[in-house]
Amino acid sequence: LAAAATAAAQAPVKPGVLRLATTTSTDDSGLLRAILPAFEKLCACRVDVIAVGTGQALEIGRRGDADVVLTHAYQSELKFIAEHHARERFDVMYNDFVVVGPAADPAKIASRRSAREAFAAIAAAKAPFASRGDNSGTETAEMAIWASADLKPAGAWYRSLGQGMGETLIVANEQRAYTLSDRGTWLAMRDKLPNLRLLLGGRSIAENPDFALRNRYGVMAVDPRVHPGVNAEAARKFVEWLVSPETQRVIAAFGMTRFGQPLFYPDSDRWKASQVPAR
């Protein structure tokens, strides 16, 4: 009976609408706006994009308020599956993080080959560092780097902001601080950040010397057995479409015209499989 009541309390499935909870980076970069119309035509449905913090996106999925989530926080995503909110996670794409900082580069990190070394130099110089501080995928990556250098950043030079990537870059620009940014947001905003330079990460992902700076995006369809209110059919179609080689090719091309390099690199298994014969 209690189960019936729970089921009854679920929101009715809204046919024709797919709710996609995702992080701000995918939306703010313009990627979704570029690729989604094709899917909307394909499935004859409307995609509602809810772009929020990574944690919030997963929480929305946990409550059954989205049909599919697209995030970049690998460990949290695994936990999401362990809690049975989704059955599977699929790799979608990746890009990378870069370390940016003031043009004067007081910690002299431009010559470093890895983020670990660069962070150690920043900490040693006690040069201002702006951290997202919001438990996002970016911050998780940042924390992993500090840990790899055996450092626990603290002190007046380390500023934990609790804001999104754009805002953090803005603060770093004003305060002439270092920060870790995803390449896409950096490229999109660098015109407005006159005080900052890209100091570690190379001009494109191919030139990024540090593999630890990879940023992986995964997609998960919310499990209808746990959340009967979700539009499972559309979610399944969406995941399938997103990892399909055709879509992956569009992702690979996105950003070329504006930045001269892609913002995201296709990473789905099907894409990789489709690339093998070509090599």
Partner 1 sequence: MSQLLTEFRRPELLQIVALTLRVTGAALLLATVAGVPIGALLGLVRFRGQRLVTLVLYTGMGLPPVVVGLFVYLSLSSSGPLGVLGWLFTPTAMIVAQAIIAFPLVAGLTMSAVAGVDRAVRQQVFALGASRWQSAWTVLLEARVGVTAAIVAAFGGIISEVGAVMLVGGNIEGQTRVLTTAIVLYTRQGEFALAMALGVVLIAVAFGANVLLLRLQGRLRDQ
Which residue lies nearer to partner 1 by CB, 35 or 243? 35
Q: Pairing relation of β-strands 17-23 and 46-52?
A: parallel
Using CB atoms within 10 A of its CB, is residue 241 exposed (0-12), middle (13-18) or buried (19+)? middle
Q: What is the nearest approach in angstroms of partner 1 to the Cβ of residue 214?
A: 22
Which residue lies nearer to partner 1 by CB, 61 or 201? 61
Q: What is the nearest approach in angstroms of partner 1 to the Cβ of residue 54?
A: 8
Which residues on neighbouring strands pair with residue 48, listed in sequence order? 19
- Spell out the residues 6+ positions from residue 132 whose beta carbon is closer than 8 angstroms to its own: 138, 139, 142, 161, 162, 163, 164, 165, 168, 179, 180
Q: What is the nearest approach in angstroms of partner 1 to the Cβ of residue 48?
A: 4
Which residue lies nearer to partner 1 by CB, 28 or 117? 28
Which residue lies nearer to partner 1 by CB, 33 or 272? 33
Q: What is the nearest approach in angstroms of partner 1 to the Cβ of residue 272?
A: 31
Q: If you search the block for the tokens 């201002």, which residue do you land on?
A: 128
Query: What three-state secondary structure class fits 6?
Result: helix
Q: Which two tokens stand for residue 268?
A: 């789905």
DSSP 8-state symbol, 61? H
Where along the sequence are the contacts to partner 1 (CB under 8 A)?
8-12, 14, 19, 24, 28, 33, 46, 48-60, 62-65, 133-136, 159-164, 166-167, 169-171, 174-175, 188-189, 192-195, 227, 229-230
Which residue lies nearer to partner 1 by CB, 62 or 112? 62
Q: What is the nearest approach in angstroms of partner 1 to the Cβ of residue 32?
A: 9
**Residue 67, Cα to own-chain centre: how many angstroms?**
18
Q: Which helix (H) or strand (E) holds 22?
A: strand 17-23
